[in-house]
């Protein structure tokens, strides 16, 4: 894989106090970041006094993107602007953005570094933005590759190089933070996407996951544990010529035994590029689940669900509580039937929203029901011993805010109670719970 240094360690960072910008091989290198296999990045100063040791601590989130010269259009600066504009100062304190300039054209890379420096000097100085480059000699062969799926040779070369671009980016980012978010260089971010991601991670506490998805497009909005990045980097390098990156990411998830896609809605990132990075082709792809303001996402604390309503096939109770586009479906419930949520820890609920029914099955909603908050948990599968009534359903929907003081102690259960029998089946489409810190 070229003539670079042959160390096989991963993710070594610049020493504290050196520049946070790792750029082109135009000046003597100050240090190296080793890549899986015999490859390395050169790390140089490109902005005097552009960093301090204070930022070289492990953050919560790294946002990583790779960029190359496009034949038409250039969206990188707009993407960086969106990342920083849509984040508060408090959020930026726990986030670092890494840009891999992956084009072999050194003049283009140098110009982009100049443009980034002019637009984002404060973020560079604070160590919130890093720019890296893997020189061409670090790449494996990109000629004469296998033409899987009967793709044209130039397309195979493009997607194979892209896999290596991302592999090097992942390896560099492995020790920067607890989590790593993959995006593209032509996206718009929703407001406070960082906080929405933190909420999503908290909602999965105690459950196993490899990839959380915050967009349904390609490899935009894929979240990983940083501890998995060395493996993922090596995986992309090993199979770089076999298939596109987004396909490899799906195989990686399955190999690490996460069988189902875990995708959160609304999407936090929107594709804005009109012209593709591959030959400048027009690409109007949009994510119709994107919302520009993500602050209203529910917390949905970790919990277990159970019900005495006869469940239809695989439409399990847990699906009503998921952020995925899925739901619970039960057969005709009787008066007194319940659907109960039991939290792992007491939760101070501020707002609660339940939607039943669906467009496809518009009669399968809860015709008559109530919502109760419970305390004094009795044990697994038994709910709570004491419940407080907080409201009733209207036309299959329930929503109430200001619930913080509705119970003496933080609730341990939420119970949906059927108050009249119905012949129609019941779909619980979504249960959304917002919380406040326990005082």
416-429: per-residue pLDDT in tens? 999 999 999 999 99
**What does the alpha-carbon distance between residue 343 and residue 302 come to, in Å, rounded to a whole number?**
6
Reported as a single tens digit per residue, the pLDDT across 319-361 is: 999 867 789 999 999 999 999 999 988 999 999 999 999 989 9
Residue of higher predicted confidence among 310 and 286: 310
Q: What CATH fold (topology level) applies to the domain 303-436?
A: Jelly Rolls (2.60.120)
CATH superfamily membership of 31-271: Spore Coat Polysaccharide Biosynthesis Protein SpsA; Chain A (3.90.550.10)
Spell out the residues 6+ positions from residue 112 whose beta carbon is closer than 8 angstroms to its own. 67, 76, 101
User: Residues with Cβ < 8 Å from 230, sequence gap 6 or more?
Assistant: 10, 11, 36, 170, 171, 174
The pLDDT confidence band at residue 136, using thresholds 50, 70 and 90, is confident
User: Distance between CA 270 and CA 268 in Å, rounded?
Assistant: 7
DSSP-based three-state secondary structure for 191: strand
**pLDDT, tens digit (0-9, with 9 covering 90-100), for 386-439:** 999 999 999 999 999 999 888 888 999 999 999 999 999 999 999 999 998 776
Among candidate residues 174, 150, 167, the one with its CA nearest the CA of residue 59: 174
Instruction: State percent of the chain over pLDDT 90.
Output: 52
Confidence band of 266 (pLDDT split at 50, 70, 90): confident
**What are residue 64's phi and psi, to 5 degrees?**
-115, 135
Neighbours of 72 (CB within 10 A): 13
Tokens of 300: 């949905």
Distance, CA of 389 to CA of 373 (rounded, Å): 7
d(CA 424, CA 439): 42
Q: Comparing C-alpha atoms, which of 384, 399, 388 is closest to residue 433?
A: 399
Rounded Cα distance, 276 and 327, in Å: 36
Torsion of CA 414, 416, 419, 421, to 10 degrees: -150
Q: Per the structure block, which two tokens stand in for 277?
A: 């990075």
The residue count of the chain comes to 439
Instruction: Please write the tens of the pLDDT for every residue from 210-254.
Output: 999 999 888 899 999 999 999 999 999 999 888 888 899 999 999
Q: 323: closest CA among 162, 166, 213?
A: 213
Return the residue matching tokens 């439409």. 315
67, 123, 352, 417 from 118: Cα distances, Å = 18, 11, 46, 60
- CA angle, residues 299, 302, 306, in degrees to nearest 5: 115
Which sequence spans correspond to the domains of the chain?
A: 31-271, 303-436
* Beta bridge partner(s), residue 98: 64, 130
């Amino acid at each position: 894989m070229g003539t670079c240094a042959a160390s096989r360690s991963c993710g070594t960072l610049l020493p504290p106090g050196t520049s946070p910008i790792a750029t082109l091989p135009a000046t003597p290198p100050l240090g190296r970041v080793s890549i899986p296999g015999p490859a390395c990045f050169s790390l140089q100063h490109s902005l005097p006094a552009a960093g301090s040791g204070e930022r070289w601590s492990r953050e919560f989130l790294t946002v990583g993107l790779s960029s190359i010269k496009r034949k038409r259009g250039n969206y990188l600066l707009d993407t960086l602007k969106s990342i920083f504009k849509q984040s508060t100062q408090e959020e930026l304190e726990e986030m670092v953005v890494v840009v891999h300039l992956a084009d072999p054209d050194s003049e283009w890379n140098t110009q982009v570094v100049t443009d980034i420096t002019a637009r984002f000097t404060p973020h560079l100085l604070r160590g919130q933005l890093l720019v890296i480059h893997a020189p061409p000699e670090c790449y494996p062969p990109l000629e004469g590759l296998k033409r899987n799926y009967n793709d044209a040779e130039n397309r195979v070369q493009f997607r194979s190089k892209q896999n290596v671009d991302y592999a090097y980016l992942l390896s560099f980012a492995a020790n920067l933070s607890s989590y790593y978010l993959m995006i593209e260089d032509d996206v718009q971010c929703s407001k406070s996407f960082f906080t929405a991601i933190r909420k999503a991670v908290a909602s999965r506490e105690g459950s196993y996951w490899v990839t959380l998805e915050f967009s349904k497009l390609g490899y935009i909005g894929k979240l990983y544990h940083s501890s998995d990045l060395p493996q993922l980097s090596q995986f992309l390098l090993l199979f770089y010529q076999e298939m596109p990156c987004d396909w490899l990411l799906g195989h990686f998830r399955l190999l690490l035994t996460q069988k189902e896609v875990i995708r959160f809605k609304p999407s936090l990132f929107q594709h804005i590029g009109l012209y593709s990075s591959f030959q400048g082709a027009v690409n109007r792809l949009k994510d119709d689940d994107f919302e520009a303001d993500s602050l209203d996402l529910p917390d949905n604390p970790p919990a277990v669900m159970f019900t005495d309503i006869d469940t239809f096939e695989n439409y399990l109770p847990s699906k009503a509580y998921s952020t995925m586009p899925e739901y619970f479906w039960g057969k005709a419930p009787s008066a007194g039937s319940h659907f109960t949520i039991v939290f792992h820890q007491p939760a101070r609920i501020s707002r609660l929203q339940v939607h039943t029914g669906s467009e496809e099955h518009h009669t399968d909603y809860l015709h008559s029901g109530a919502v109760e908050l419970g305390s004094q948990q009795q044990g697994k599968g038994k709910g709570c011993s004491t419940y407080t009534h907080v409201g009733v359903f209207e036309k299959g929907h329930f929503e109430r805010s200001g619930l913080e003081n509705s119970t003496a102690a933080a609730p341990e259960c939420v119970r949906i109670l059927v108050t009249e029998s119905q012949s129609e089946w019941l779909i619980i489409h979504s249960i959304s719970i917002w919380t406040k810190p326990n005082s």
